Amino acid sequence: MERKYHVCTGCALLCDDIELREVENKTIIDSACRKGAAWIKNCQHPLECTVDAKDTTTQDAIEKAAEILKNAKNPLIFGMGNSSLTAQEKAIELAKKTNACIDDTSSFCQGPFVEAILNDKIKSCTLDEVRDKADVIVYWGCDPSNSHPRHLSKYSYFPRGKMRQRGWEEDRTAIAIDVRKSDTAIICEDDFHQIPPKADAEFAHALTDALSGKVPKVTFGMKPKEILELANVLKKAEFGVIFAGLGLVYSIPDISPMEKLLEVLNKKTDFHLMPMVGQYNMRGFNHTLFDQTGYINRVSFEGDDIGHGPQYSVVEVLKGEKVDAALIIGSDPLSSLPGSIAANLKEIPTIVIDPCKTFTSQTANVTLPAAVTGVECKGEAIRMDGVKVTLKQMRKSDKMTDADIVEKIMEAI
C-alpha cells in the first residue's frame, strides 16, 4: 500500500512522515509527537475576525488594516516564523510598499548563526547528513527533547543511518553542554558537561585551546582533564555537529567563540553547526529576506533604499517609539518581548494575523484569523537545516491563508 505522508509544522524539524487515519469518525494522527499532535489538532482558542474588539467581516477587517498601514509613516511588520514562504514574500513586498521596518524573532534569537551560515562563515549541514553520517553530536544550550521532541529519534542520535548502521550505542556519541541537567542531558548520561550561566564563551575558548595543544583553563572549577577529554572526543569525530540552542546564543555577546572553535575543529576533522530554530519557517523568512536584500532581518525600506542594522530590530524600534503602526503575523511579541518594550506596542495601532488568540491579539485593533499552513492549507517552508519542504493540506478549512490576507491588504492599499 502506498502511504500518504504529511508534514508537521509544529516546529522547525518539519517531520515529513505524519499519517492521518480515520477511525470511527475521529482522525488519528500517527507518528507526530505530542506537541505536533496538539498543533495539528489546532488551537484551543481560535482567533476571531475583529475590528476594535468587535466581530466583523473579513472584508471590513482587511480594509481597516489597509487604512492603518496607509496612514502610518513608519509601520513595523513583524513575525512570519509560522508563515509559508509565499506569505513571507508577500509580507516583504508589503513592507516595501509601505516603507516599513520588517523584522522577525531571529533578531533576538538564532539570527547570528543563520546569518553566518548564509554568508558561508560557519559550516553547516543537513539533518539527513546528520542521520546518515554524524558520530559526534553536541547539544549546546538546547533541549530538543522538549523543544523539538523528535530531533533525537528522527535525525540526530537514535536512528540508523547509511554510515551509522549499528545504532546509537556503538556508532554515536551524544554530548550535552548546558547550565542544567535537561531531559536531553539525561539521555547523554556521562557526556553531560555542566557549565555555569554565561560561561559558554569561556568554555568554547577553553575547548579551542585544548584543541590547539594548550592547557585549557576555566574560572569555574571544571578540571582541565574533563575539557581535554571532551576535546579529544570532538577531534576524533568523523562527522561532528553542534546543535546550538538559545541557551548558547543568549549567553554569548557575539558568535566569534563558536566560529573559532569550528575553525580549529575543521583543521582536524569535519565539524558543523546548526541553530535550533524554533518556529517552523523562521529560517524561511531569513532566507527570503536575504535573497531580496542581502540581510536576514532588521531591514527598513524607504523608497528604493534599504536600511539595515540593530537600530531596526523589533526591540529597538519599539523601545525608541520609531514606528507608528504594527502588523504582526503569526507571532506573539507581547509574550516574548520584555514587558517595557512590549508596552509600547499597545500604544500604536496593531493588526494581528494568526490562527489562534494570543496576548498580542487581545489588544490589537484588527485581528484576522488565518489558516494553519500544513494543516488547513498547503505551502512551502524551510526546515531548520535550510532544506525546502513542501507542506500539504491535512483537512478542509474555509479560513484564508496568511498569504492571501496580506495580498488582499496590499490590494486595498
Partner 1 sequence: MANAMEIYQLLPKTNCKKCGKSSCMAFAAALLSREKNLDECTPMLEEKKYSENYTKLKGLVSPAEQASETGMIVHEDRCIGCGNCVVACPVNVAEDPKGAGSGNAPTNERVILKVEDGIVRLSNVEDCRRFGENKRLCSGCIVTCPTKAIEFV
Question: Which residues sit at the interface with ligand SF4, rule CB under 6 A?
Answer: 8, 10-11, 13-15, 32-33, 35-36, 148-150
Instruction: Specify whether the CB–CB gap between 370 and 80 falls below 8 A.
Output: no
Q: What is the H or E stretch that residue 292 is in?
A: helix 282-293
CA–CA distance, 260 with 88 (Å, rounded to integer): 33
Scanning residues 194 to 253, which ones bind partner 1 (CB under 8 A)?
A: none
Minimum distance of ligand SF4 from residue 251's CB (angstroms): 25
Told to check if 32 binds partner 1 by CB under 8 A, we report yes
Minimum distance of ligand SF4 from residue 9's CB (angstroms): 7
| Residue 29, φ and ψ in degrees, nearest 5 | -100, 115
- Among residues 315 and 387, whose Cβ is nearest to partner 1? 387
Cell output for 334: 507581547
Minimum distance of ligand SF4 from residue 389's CB (angstroms): 10
CA–CA distance, 77 with 92 (Å, rounded to integer): 8
- Among residues 35 and 378, whose Cβ is nearest to partner 1? 35
| Residue 137, φ and ψ in degrees, nearest 5 | -125, 125
Told to check if 141 binds partner 1 by CB under 8 A, we report no
The option from ligand SF4, partner 1, none interacting with 152 (CB < 5 to 8 A, set by class) reads partner 1
Told to check if 31 binds partner 1 by CB under 8 A, we report yes
Told to check if 145 binds partner 1 by CB under 8 A, we report yes
CA atoms within 13 A on the CB side of 277: 34
Minimum distance of ligand SF4 from residue 162's CB (angstroms): 22
For Cα atoms 103, 284, 341, give the angle at the middle one, nearest 5 degrees. Answer: 25
Residue count at the site for partner 1 (CB under 8 A)?
A: 35
CA–CA distance, 275 with 243 (Å, rounded to integer): 6
> Length of the chain, please?
413
Told to check if 34 binds partner 1 by CB under 8 A, we report yes
The option from ligand SF4, partner 1, none interacting with 187 (CB < 5 to 8 A, set by class) reads partner 1
CA–CA distance, 331 with 347 (Å, rounded to integer): 18
Stretch of 29-37, 97-105, 250-258, 363-371 lying at the interface with partner 1 (CB under 8 A): 29-37
CA–CA distance, 58 with 352 (Å, rounded to integer): 13
Which residues contact partner 1 (rule: CB under 8 A)?
3, 5, 17-19, 28-38, 131, 145-146, 149-150, 152-155, 158-161, 167-168, 183-184, 186-187
